[in-house]
């Protein structure tokens, strides 16, 4: 990818990292989450900072547990690189993210 390239990623139910290559930086600008089991963390290989509690649902209609997911993204601006990146914790929920590469 090059600076200015957009990306979108869907994470299944496994513990998953979004870790750019060395020297590459990305801005995550949208999170979408359906379920109440897994959380998003900032991670540096040993230290974790929680971004979303596991109970947060970011893509389900209010009051309709188990309903089909609708797009209700959490808009944000989190910069990640090779040394500080995102970790999807847990093995139950599906997540989606999108953003843009901001440096190479």
Domain ranges of the chain: 6-103
Instruction: Return d(Cα 44, Cα 5) in angstroms, integer.
Output: 24
Q: What is the pLDDT of residue 71?
A: 47
Write down the mean pLDDT value for the chain: 82
Q: How confident is the model over 5-46, as pLDDT tens digits?
A: 999 998 888 989 999 999 999 999 888 777 777 888 889 999
Decide which of 2.60.40.10, 2.60.120.1010, 3.40.50.300, 1.10.3720.10 is the CATH code for 6-103. Answer: 2.60.120.1010
pTM above the 0.85 mark? no
């Amino acid at each position: 990818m090059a600076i200015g390239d957009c990306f979108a990623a869907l994470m299944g139910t496994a513990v998953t990292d979004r870790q750019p290559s060395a020297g590459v930086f990305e801005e995550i600008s949208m999170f979408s989450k359906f379920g109440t089991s897994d959380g998003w963390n900032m991670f540096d290989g040993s230290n974790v900072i929680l971004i979303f509690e596991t109970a947060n649902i970011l893509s389900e209609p209010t009051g309709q547990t188990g309903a089909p997911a609708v797009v209700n993204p959490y808009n944000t601006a989190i910069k990640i690189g090779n040394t500080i990146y995102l970790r999807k914790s847990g093995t139950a929920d599906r997540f989606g993210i999108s953003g843009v590469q901001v440096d190479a």
